[in-house]
Amino acid sequence: MIVDRLISSDTISLKKIFERNMSIYTFLNPVSYLDALNNKILFTKFDGIFADGGLLVKAVQLCYGKKIQRRSFDMTSLAPVLFDYAQDNGKSIAIIASKQESIEQAVKILIAKYPKLSILYFRNGYFNTNEEKMATVHKIVLLKPDFLIVGMGIVKQEDFLLKVKDAGYLGVGFTCGGFIHQIAKDKAEYYPEWIDKHGLRFVYRMYKEPHTRYRYFKTAFVFPIIFLKERLSKG
């Protein structure tokens, strides 16, 4: 059950997660939760899932009585904690995400903000063939980065990260959704401070990225129905 994989806010610290080798983590918001329901086998193979979004946090607490905390892979949440930890502890990072121009720009921005951050390898998240994809999987295993960050869109990024783990990756992997695309467009802090403070990240993203508007309408009308139906089916 996917809800069972959601990480409780009081069970494990981020530092312990960063030190838990051979583990992979992903993030679900109300929209991607619906996609995950159609790929339950894939998502239940992850070592943990973070709830990305206040609506999902509240829904889980209300319907399951499970105390969880919002965590997303962006500069308002987990990302700066990971980068600080990697920089301070001499840990290396590999990033597979977005388009080539976006990943190159994002890496420049990250290095400017974290001068001692070791980005061992990076490339775009698009593959022309399965052979190219698997070659990248094995390259990551051979390079042995301490952390792997993957952003390819829901399902594709989880599938890739699981392939890397199954191939023998010894580090810690995270999906990052559109994080690389976001910071490449502006700067490391995609969301203004006041937007984050008042929980208006989804409004800001609809303004900045019009293509996301349908997703948020889907969140408002479809997610509550499907989530409640899923809960009732479990008794």
Residues 72 and 14 placed together within one structural domain of the fold: yes
pLDDT of 207 > 80? The answer is no
Last residue of a domain, one of 149, 166, 185: 185
By the 10 Å C-beta count (0-12 exposed, 13-18 middle, 19+ buried), 235 is classed as exposed
Last residue of a domain, one of 163, 185, 207: 185
What's the rounded Cα separation, in Å, for the pair 63 and 208? 32
Contact 60, 4 (CB under 8 A): no
Residues 15 and 55 placed together within one structural domain of the fold: yes
pLDDT at residue 233, as a whole number: 86
Strand, helix or coil at 88?
helix
pLDDT of 56 > 70? The answer is yes
pTM of the model: 0.88
pLDDT of 11 > 80? The answer is no
**Average pLDDT for residues 70-94, to the nearest whole number?**
96
The pair of three-digit structure tokens given for residue 102, joined into one six-digit string: 């976006």
Contact 85, 200 (CB under 8 A): no
Number of domains comprising the chain: 2
Return the CATH number at 65: 3.40.50.10700
pLDDT of 187 > 60? The answer is no
Per-residue pLDDT of 175-184, as tens digits, reads: 999 999 989 9
- What range does the domain containing 206 cover? 193-233
Residue 21: Cβ within 10 Å count: 10
